[in-house]
Amino acid sequence: MGLTGTPVLVVAAALASGLFAATLLLWPRLAGRTARAVAGRTALLLSTQLALFVAAGLLANHSFLFYGSWADLLGREQELGTVTDHGAGKGASGGVVRIGTVRPDAPGAGRPASGGRIDEVVVSGRASGIGSRAYVYLPPEYFQQAHAGRTFPAVIVLTGYPGTAENLFKGLRYPRTAHERVRAGRAQPMVLVMLRPTVAPPRDTECVDVRDGPQAETFFAEDLPRAVSRTYRVGERARNWGVIGNSTGGYCALKLGLHHPERFAASAGLSAYYRAAEDPTTGDLFHGDRAARRRADLLWSLDHRPPAASSFLVTTSRQGEGNLRETREFIDRVRAPARVSSIVLDSGGHNFTTWRREIPPALEWMSGRLTAD
């Protein structure tokens, strides 16, 4: 049974309930002071508490997808880090190799022309030397004869750290939401390239080109759009590309849009922060390079970089988020010809429930700022 599946959650809940009922039933029989009675009471209490703890943990993971699999939970995730050669294979010349497909959680998902398709791929970066697994959502229109000659806009969708790419379609439901927005006439069909910002696991690179280390920014800004455009019917100009993410992915999205207006016309940061984290998970990102550290500070960059005709979306909450003050600073520092929009909830924490409230309007906003060639 999969870690995120309903069956394992049902089994855990049933076991916890059964042990609780057994404790109530057997407690009178174990009321004595003998070693056997004490051992019995101790075993019942410990096993019941352990079962309740496991059930609660599985319920939380089912809701928020902190871990995508048993291997991820146990630290045995074997996702590829640096890849230099994938050999022959479909899409290899473009830097993308399809290794499988996933059925979208959308009406008509049995047929790509009705429900779209999610390709599981490995993207090989020529400039960065990085390879990363990703999921590419192709909307139903991609497979319809009426759109056979159409080139679609694309959006890079990033998780937080240390999230898994599966979170984006299992927990945050990006493909389903995009499908619903298109059917409602509130957005245009877009290709979604879903992955986590951790392209050199387990290190959190904060989408930085680390000296003598992972060239994460180069991968996202150069390799990934180029490889996808060569493999799928996706435009190559800035007006064809956007990037969105939550938490660490939100920081990366805003940074990519700010530093690479020639590549991305729009970027959205959901619950983003605005300075690169530096902690044990990141290691030494800047090696004493003050200019590189300041460049990774988005508020500093807004004050010191020439503004470009880019669009930014930032989200926060008046209660529950810690980025309210800095989000307001970001909004105040954006200068024309750049444009900035915001979503400010009255209340909402740093979690999937909040982001699910923000994703539908964020995708509509993104759709309105990208064009198809």
Q: What is the 3-state secondary structure (H, E, C) of 114-176?
A: HHCEEEEEEEECCCCCCEEEEEEEECHHHHCHHHCCCCECEEEEECCCCCCCCHHHHCCCHHH
pLDDT of residue 69: 60
What whole-number percentage of the chain has pLDDT above 70? 90
Question: Model-level pTM greater than 0.85?
Answer: no
Q: Tell me the average pLDDT across 280-284.
A: 91
User: For 293-305, how does the pLDDT look when each residue is reduced to its tens digit (9 = 90+)?
Assistant: 999 999 999 999 9
pLDDT of residue 24: 84
Q: Tell me the average pLDDT across 102-115.
A: 85
pLDDT of residue 155: 98
Does residue 74 surpass a pLDDT of 80?
Answer: no
Give ∠ CA 180-183-185 in degrees, rounded to 5.
110
Cα 137 to Cα 140: distance, rounded to the nearest angstrom? 10
pLDDT of residue 93: 44
For 137-176, give one letter per residue: b (16+ CB within 10 A) or e: bbbbbbbeeebeeebbbbbbbbbbbbbbbbbbbbbbbbbb
Band of pLDDT at residue 92, cut at 50, 70 and 90: very low
Does residue 129 surpass a pLDDT of 60?
Answer: yes
- Which of helix, strand or coil describes residue 7? helix
- Which of helix, strand or coil describes residue 193? strand
Q: Tell me the average pLDDT across 228-243.
A: 96
Q: Tell me the average pLDDT across 43-67.
A: 78
pLDDT of residue 202: 87
Q: Tell me the average pLDDT across 99-113.
A: 86
User: Do the beta carbons of residue 164 and residue 120 sit within 8 Å?
Assistant: no
Band of pLDDT at residue 369, cut at 50, 70 and 90: very high
Instruction: Find out whether the peptide bond into 162 is cis, omega within 30 degrees of 0.
Output: yes
Does residue 68 surpass a pLDDT of 80?
Answer: no
